[in-house]
Amino acid sequence: MALFLQTTFLTSSSSLRQKPCLSSWASHISTSRTRTRVHAKIREIFMPALSSTMTEGKIVSWVRSEGDKLSKGESVVVVESDKADMDVETFYDGYLAAIMVEEGGVAAVGSAIALLAESLEEIEEAKSKAASSSPATSPAPAAAAPVSKSTTGSGAVEKAVVVAPPSPSVVASAVHPASEGGKRVVASPYAKKLAKDLKVDLGRVIGSGPNGRIVAKDVEAAAAVAAELGSPAAKVSAAPAVQAPPGIELGSVVPFTTMQGAVCRNMVESLSVPTFRVGYTITTDALDAIYKKVKSKGVTMTALLAKATALALVKHPVINSSCRDGNSFTYNSNINIAVAVAIDGGLITPVLQDADKVDIYSLSRKWKELVDKARAKQLQPQEYNTGTFTLSNLGMFGVDRFDAILPPGTGAIMAVGASQPTVVGTKDGRIGMKNQMQVNVTADHRVIYGADLAAFLQTLAKIIEDPKDLTF
């Protein structure tokens, strides 16, 4: 996802000097060349907007240091948005002259976080400008043309560009060094910095991120184990089994993380939507049987439920619709099933796109990939903000029924409880045992009515109770 951001160009006083000329024509040429040089001197790098709901970002780590030479397309900083950590690239060659927002700092989208100098000679001037100014605190437009100009007290102003890559470059080749003789250690930029501070040898750390990528918690675990054993941290391998959650100080006040803040805003926004709830009991004997047959092939229950829901939505498009402005609603052209996933410090909803069209095996592989990326905070915006219908499943925890809160911008969310053996009366008047689960759908009553939900749930029940079409 290439993202064009506004940055301010600051002129250098030395760039305004002109050599004596022998003619007006030569003077004109000299002036033109001077103006050309002015176009790329000192630029302000702005906080990028990494998602449609992002209003501010947190600097997780600076990949490069002040004074480093940067090339176009090179990762400069890791930013924590409201949903994920993303590497941010520079769109220009130059030198990272001054960092204005340190690691751990928060800046509004569009505010300056660093200065980029074109030459070594301008680094000192950029540092002085950074020292005499503070980062902007008010949000600025997230997208802009690559170059635009305005006038400030210091002269001409140019908008530089910073882009967020479609996906972190390290993820594409994330293979643990043990499998390649230790040729390359694949770790997040923050994990590398943390390892340096804690004196942990990354070559001996086993990563828990996607494809073995080392993340910060792996480094922290390695350091903790080293401290307990009284041996150098550099010789310790992190093992998931020895990781322990950080201690909680009772009575302490803990500020929201960026993700928790985003969840909070969404939940408050959901209060403005008039919702209602409808529950339904579905027999799952046939679904359980087919799951046992395909589980060994990598099929997950989440994928089966998402597929069944998508096939039901095909027949009831109004349940897949959305109302955003209060004056109209949209029949969404795609059926994208978002599934709530709890991760450290928050909640995110990876999206299975076109779930009605994708076969169950591909859907299951995609779901595993999305969960791995979600837990490593590497999801791209289109992988979590394009859902048209949401599933929230607490059945694996033994919860038999619950209600879910409707995510803003969608028409309905379904809460799925556990499948449990239940004594039921059969149609012939006898008593028998069947596995049943409770589902409760919360819907936007501006668009969806009770009869709509009832019809949808009837269709869903038929698909789950006769799931032959799920494994095509």
Catalytically annotated residues: 445
| Count of C-beta atoms within a 10 Å radius of residue 408 | 18
Length of the chain: 472
Strands (E), 296-419: 337-339, 341-343, 346-348, 351-352, 389-393, 412-416
Those residues with Cβ within 8 angstroms of residue 323's Cβ, 6 or more apart along the chain or in another chain: 329, 330, 411, 444, 446, 447
* Cβ atoms of 189 and 87 closer than 8 Å: yes
Phi/psi at 56 (nearest 5 deg)? -150, 160
Beta carbons within 8 Å of 471's beta carbon, 6+ residues apart: 290, 294, 299, 360
Within 8 A by CB and 6+ apart from 180, the residues are none
- Single-letter code of the amino acid located at 252: S
The arrangement of strands across the sheet holding 69-70 comes to: 9-10, 42-46, 112-117, 94-99, 69-70
3 state DSSP class of 113: strand
The terminus-to-terminus CA distance of the chain in angstroms comes to 33
Backbone angles phi, psi at 177, to 5 degrees: -60, -25
Helix %, strand %, coil % of the chain (to 5): 35, 25, 45
61 vs 189: CA distance, rounded Å: 7
Residue 421 to residues 109, 135, 141, 313: CA-CA distances in angstroms?
Answer: 52, 60, 55, 28
Do the Cβ atoms of 420 and 435 come closer than 8 Å?
yes
CA distances from 137 to 47, 326, 425 (A): 11, 31, 65
